[in-house]
Amino acid sequence: ATYLNFYALPLREEAPTLSTTLTCLLCVFEFMLLATYFRAACTHAGHLPATYDGHDTDPLLEGRWCDKCQTYRPERAHHCSICQECILHYDHHCIFINNCVGETNYKFFMLFIFYTPIASIFVCATSWWALPPLHAAVSFDDPQLVNFVFMYIVTAVFGVMVLVLLVMHAWLAGKNLTTIEFLRMQDTDSNPYPYDAGCLNNVEQRFGTAWLTWPLPIKPSVDAHRGG
């Protein structure tokens, strides 16, 4: 709202086309950010199969017993101490979405942390010139200016923080690793990437094989979770 009131909308008199373009782009980015946030927050991270008995033809998928849930869980499933249940392909529990990140909502989580820095970069880059020069005598008696400067700083800092998180998860997805597996990687001498099927195949397991749907907050194709 601060961006629109202080920068985009006042441009309508001087540059109506630019003002409309900036407003539309901001609405698109904000819609995608909110849509992916709600999909990540409201989608269950991954229920255990109701009929799973702890046996699998693949030794890597051989189940383990969870004392807390009193059930077998497949390989790569872990018990979340906050949600108090086992989650398939458990990555971590995210406090920002108040939900676990696992097999069924990992794509939405990735898109959320993708669109967040995109929106932040867009706002900061397009409104940079509106900031007063550092050497100028600025009167902070104008509450709108104070709000704009505060918004700019918070947006830039938060965008950089989430961008770092995005880079980390992009690397993990490329290696077919979860966060918990990455943290435990240093404690074993075995192959650190036992599920690595190549970068493209790894990403398709998370996002599906239909590339055009990757940026959209819709479920991956049915075979997206094959191979671990």
Query: Do residues 89 and 225 touch, judged by C-beta distance below 8 A?
Result: yes
Write out the E strands in the chain.
Answer: 64-66, 71-73, 78-80, 85-87, 92-94, 99-101
Q: Please name the residue that has the structure tokens 């101490």.
A: 81
Q: Looking at the annotation, which residues are catalytic? A: 94
Nearest CA to 224 out of 195, 191, 202, 198 is that of 202
Burial class for 65, CB neighbours closer than 10 Å (0-12, 13-18, 19+):
exposed
> What is the b/e burial string over 128-140, where b = at least 16 CB atoms within 10 angstroms of the residue's CB?
eebbeeeeeeeee
Query: Do residues 90 and 84 touch, judged by C-beta distance below 8 A?
Result: no
Query: Do residues 85 and 117 touch, judged by C-beta distance below 8 A?
Result: no
Query: Do residues 115 and 29 touch, judged by C-beta distance below 8 A?
Result: yes
